[in-house]
Every structure is written in C-alpha cells, then in structure tokens.
Amino acid sequence: MAVKIRPITLKDAANFRLCLDTVAKERRHIYDYEAPPLPKIRQRLRKRLREKIPHIVAVDGMRVVGWAGVYRPGVPSIWHCGDLSIGLLPEYRGLGLGTKLATRVLKMARGKYEFVIAAVVRKNKPARKLFKKMGFQLCGTQK
C-alpha cells in the first residue's frame, strides 16, 4: 500500500465521489448519507480550485482513499471561519493517514481563515481523539 497525499484535481472527481459516498453510507463519520451526483461534485471542485480552497486527497494508485479540506461555509458573513472535513475509506483507517491529511490541509489553510472548526459526529470517537490531539477544543455539541 503506497498511499500518496496530494492536492485534489478535477480528474479526481469520480474517484473522490466514490470515496465520499462509501464514507457517507456508513452513517457514522460524516453528516451526509450519500455523495452528491458527479456533476455537482465537479461543480464544487471547480469552484474550490478556482478559489484556492485547501483540499487534498490520499490516493492508492489511482484510487482516492481519503480526503481533507478546509471549506468556506455557505454563508458569506462567516467566510472568515474554515470548516475542516476529513474522510477515509474503512480499510485505510488507523494507519495515521487522518493525522497526515489534517496536518497538511491545516498548513495549507493558514492565513486563509481566522479560525477552523471541525464538526464531528458524536459517535465518531477516532475523529474526536484526532482533533483533540491536534489542539482543537470542544466548543459545543449538536443533537
């Protein structure tokens, strides 16, 4: 397993969607229950690339096995805040890739946001542990 971490490209759209969809359908780690359709993924990627939004992928060969991004919320009045998102396929968890993805994307996000938040599903203990290790503080919970 030779996983590489690199910036996402538009060519990654279909593989990124498959990875996102797999993680979403677990209904344990992220808020989405399925990935958006491929045209919507491409549209979002084009916008993020144009705006230089920090977004990286972990790839094993041509397969996207994980991602990390610090995105702008949909409301312009809070664009000073970055929203961290990380996901990994099940067979690539527990290998330190989440830490590598988070470290790299947060470094890319420096200077783009006043602060970064990471909303975590309560049941996602590995993510809560990762973010605590990285210095994030619990500032509230959603039900």
pLDDT score, position 32 = 63
d(CA 42, CA 10): 7
Judge contact between 36 and 18, C-beta under 8 A.
no
Give the pLDDT score at 18: 95
pLDDT, averaged per 10 consecutive residues of the chain (143 residues), comes to 92 95 77 80 94 95 94 75 88 92 94 83 80 80 60
In the prediction, which pLDDT does 34 show? 63
Return the beta strands (E) in 13-120 as ranges: 55-60, 63-71, 81-88, 115-117
Q: Residue 9: its pLDDT value, please?
A: 96
* 113, two tokens: 């946001």
pLDDT for 15 equals 96
- Phi and psi for 33 in degrees, rounded to 5? -100, -15
Q: pLDDT value at position 49?
A: 95
DSSP string, 2-36: -EEEEE--GGGHHHHHHHHHHHHHHTSSSS-SSPP
Q: At 87, list the tokens.
A: 């996901």
